[in-house]
Structure 1
Amino acid sequence: MESAVRLAENILAQAPRMTVAKDHATDRKTGAFSVEMGTAGVGLLAFSGDWTLQAKAPGAAAIASALAAGTGIRRIGFDTDALAQWDSTFITAILGVVAQGKAAGIDVDLGGLPAGAQRLVTLATAVPERQGARRTATRDGFLVGLGKWWLASYKSMQDSLAFVGEATIALARFSVGRARFRRVDLMIALEACGPKALPIVTLISVLIGLILAFVGAIQLRQFGAQIYVADLVAIAMAREMAAIMTGIIMAGRTGAAFAAQLGTMQVNEEIDAFRTLGFSPMEFLVLPRMLALIVMMPLLCIYANILGILGGGIVGIWMLGLTPTAYYVQTIASVSLTDFGIGISKSVIFGIVVALAGCLKGLQSGRSASAVGDAATSAVVLSIVMIIVLDGFFAVVTSIMGI
Structure 2
Amino acid sequence: MTAASFHTDTQGDHCTLYLSGHWQLGDAPDGEALRAAVPEACRHLNLVADHLEDWDSSLAIALLPLARWCDQQNISFNTDAVPQGLQQLLNLATGVPVYQTQATERSDSAVTLLRNAVKQQWHDLRDTLIFLGDTCIALGQWLRGNAKTRRVDIFFFIDQAGPRALAIVTLISILVGMILAYLGSVQLRQLGAQVYVADLVAIGMVREMGALMTAVIMAGRTGAAYAAQLGTMQVNEEIDALRIMGISSMEFLVLPRLLALVLVMPLLCIYADIIGMVGGAIIATSMDVSVIQYISQTRDAVDWLDISTGIIKSIVFGILIAIAGCQAGLNCGRNSDAVGMAATNAVVKAIVYLVVADAAFNILYDKLGI
The TM-score, its normalising length taken from structure 1, stands at 0.71
- Secondary structure at 1:64 match in 2: coil
* Cα distance, 1:60–1:148 mapped onto 2, change above 3 Å: farther
1:258–1:358 Cα contact (<8 Å) kept: yes
State the partner residue of 2:325: 358
Query: Cα offset for 1:161?
Result: 0.9
Q: CA RMSD in A?
A: 3.7
One-letter code aligned to 1:269: E
One-letter code aligned to 1:397: L
1:353–1:387 Cα contact (<8 Å) kept: yes
- Separation (CA, whole Å) in 2 of partners of 1:376 and 1:150: 23
- Separation (CA, whole Å) in 1 of partners of 2:335 and 2:266: 35
Structure 1 residues 194-240: Cα deviation after superposition (integer angstroms, max 9, x where no partner): 11111111111111111111111111111111111111111111110
1:32–1:57 Cα contact (<8 Å) kept: no
Moved more, 240-249 or 170-179: 170-179
2:287 counterpart of 1:320: yes
State the partner residue of 1:31: 7
Query: Cα offset for 1:248?
Result: 0.5
State the partner residue of 2:186: 218
Out of 341, 355, 371, which is 2:308 matched to? Answer: 341
Structure 1 residues 48-67: Cα deviation after superposition (integer angstroms, max 9, x where no partner): 954899798787963737x9
One-letter code aligned to 2:122: Y
Report 1:1-400 matches (<5 A). Answer: 30-33=6-9, 35=11, 50=19, 62=39, 64=41, 84=50, 139-142=106-109, 143-316=111-284, 318-400=285-367
- Separation (CA, whole Å) in 2 of partners of 1:186 and 1:266: 21
- Separation (CA, whole Å) in 2 of partners of 1:45 and 1:352: 67
One-letter code aligned to 2:289: L
Query: Cα offset for 1:315?
Result: 1.8
The TM-score, its normalising length taken from structure 2, stands at 0.77
One-letter code aligned to 1:220: L
1:50–1:57 Cα contact (<8 Å) kept: no
Query: Cα offset for 1:378?
Result: 1.2
- Secondary structure at 2:9 match in 1: strand
Structure 1 residues 21-46: Cα deviation after superposition (integer angstroms, max 9, x where no partner): xxxxxx996434354xxxxxxx8979
Return 5+ residue gaps in structure 2 as ranges. 53-58, 83-99
- Separation (CA, whole Å) in 2 of partners of 1:311 and 1:275: 49
Query: Cα offset for 1:193?
Result: 1.1
Q: Percent identity?
A: 45
State the partner residue of 2:97: none
One-letter code aligned to 1:62: P
1:263–1:365 Cα contact (<8 Å) kept: yes
* Cα distance, 1:170–1:225 mapped onto 2, change above 3 Å: same
- Separation (CA, whole Å) in 1 of partners of 2:275 and 2:360: 26
- Separation (CA, whole Å) in 2 of partners of 1:273 and 1:355: 23
* Cα distance, 1:260–1:225 mapped onto 2, change above 3 Å: same
Which structure has the bigger radius of gyration? 1
- Separation (CA, whole Å) in 1 of partners of 2:167 and 2:293: 29
1:31–1:58 Cα contact (<8 Å) kept: no
Count of equivalent residues: 325
